[in-house]
Amino acid sequence: MVYDFDTMVDRTSLSSQKWSFVKQRIGDPTILPMWVADMDFAVAPEIVEAIKARAAIPSYGYTQRTDGYYNGLINWMKRRHGWDGIQRDLIIFTPGVVAGFNFAVQAYSDPGDKVIVQPPCYYPFFDAIINNGRRIVNNPLKIVDGNYVMDYEDLEKKIDGRAKMIILCSPHNPVGRVWKRSELERLVEVCEKKDIVIVSDEIHNDLILGETKHTPTATISNEAMRRTVTLVATSKTFNLAGLTNSCVIIPDRKLRCIFDNVTENNRTRNTNIFGIVAQEAAYAKGEPWLEELLVYLRGNFRYLEDYIRENIPLLKVYPLEGTYLAWVDCSCLGMGDEALKEFMLKKAKLWFDEGTMFGSGGSMFMRINLACTRNTLREALTRLDKAVRELSD
């Protein structure tokens, strides 16, 4: 390995949400945080160098996105995800992907309309719908043969005249699925038949740990291209969430104009200088770092699976095809959701995201962030093992 993933950046005094909230919100600094989805690893040195070089020029006024910013994304999407032909004017900036799907809700639905989600799913989807005065329609994922799949019949049944759009998570946080092309084809078919917009949150598109390749929803067919709004970013891939920068790709002119108006009305077009610099450097020079990161994350997931199989077999780990967020069924511990949360925090001294946050189907699950050093993971599993053993003592 050229890059070092065994050393963590100490963020306890850096205003890091993941680390600072342990003391501020839970009040116990001995708890190990493995919740919010960012990484404990150092950012790729190529990106750090680019930021340092720009920071050395003492002028941080209003700025423009560069050719390298756009071309980097266009080339990356073509090379890594097989999406050819993205033009620069199809890309709209948003200050983060969460802002992006909030704008999409405002753009493609009216107050009182219905927006479909597939729980268990990333919980800010729910907030975006509710906070904008729309109604949530759940199209829950099903577990078939030990893994999650979409329920197309249920989806079709639930799309009535008030349902305007679906927010898709691809790859899916928290269940770790990388949707196969054939699965996305069926989804697009239903959305086409019922004429709804697909907002495809693909923030985890580069974090592919298993065999299935990520397929951008828009590339499924011409029809998909016309109705899909794709949200991408360097933030998860390269651990840059604090730079609040993301891109929305909208090939259809009408959908793009509507979205663009929302960003204009919200006055969010100005970009963080370092977000621009970091995206350009990440897409131009970050690939070797990413390849090594993926090797390390796969190793972490294998370590977790093996450890749990050998030591805590009451827990069931779901396959992790994508993202670095393991999804673990704790129902065999035989407690309720509140008790499980207490158990993790107070007995195991671990802060995972509890499954109930992700809506229906999340009960008795924990989402474990594996973007940490192997040592941190070992420590977490040792604590968990000890706490579970004490349950039966």
Ligand X SMILES: Cc1ncc(COP(=O)(O)O)c(C=O)c1O
Site for ligand X in 107-136 (CB under 6 A): 122
Give the SS3 label for residue 139. Answer: coil
Q: Which residues contact 172 (CB under 8 A, 6 or more apart)?
A: 118, 121, 141, 148, 178, 179, 322, 323
Give the SS3 label for residue 269. Answer: coil
How many beta carbons lie within 10 A of that of residue 154, not counting itself?
14
Residue 169 binds ligand X, judged by CB under 6 A: yes
Cα angle 230-239-197, degrees, rounded to a multiple of 5? 15
Among 16, 32, 86, 96, binds ligand X (CB under 6 A): 96
Smallest distance from the beta carbon of 16 to ligand X, in angstroms?
14
Residue matched to tokens 């729309």? 134
**Selected range binding ligand X among 93-101, 295-303, 335-343, 373-381, rule: CB under 6 A:** 93-101
DSSP string, 18-84: HHHHIIIII--TTSEE--SS--SSPPPHHHHHHHHHHHTSS---S----HHHHHHHHHHHHHHH---
What is the Cα–Cα distance from 149 to 167, expressed in whole angstroms? 16
Residue 203 binds ligand X, judged by CB under 6 A: yes
Smallest distance from the beta carbon of 360 to ligand X, in angstroms?
17
Smallest distance from the beta carbon of 236 to ligand X, in angstroms?
6
What residue type is 320 in one-letter code? L
Site for ligand X in 290-309 (CB under 6 A): none
Residue 37 binds ligand X, judged by CB under 6 A: yes
Site for ligand X in 216-275 (CB under 6 A): 233, 235, 241, 246
**Selected range binding ligand X among 90-98, 221-229, 248-256, 384-392, rule: CB under 6 A:** 90-98
Nearer Cβ to ligand X, position 102 or 388? Answer: 102
Residue 73 binds ligand X, judged by CB under 6 A: no
Q: Which residue ranges make up the site for ligand X (CB under 6 A)?
A: 37, 96-98, 122, 169, 173, 201, 203, 233, 235, 241, 246
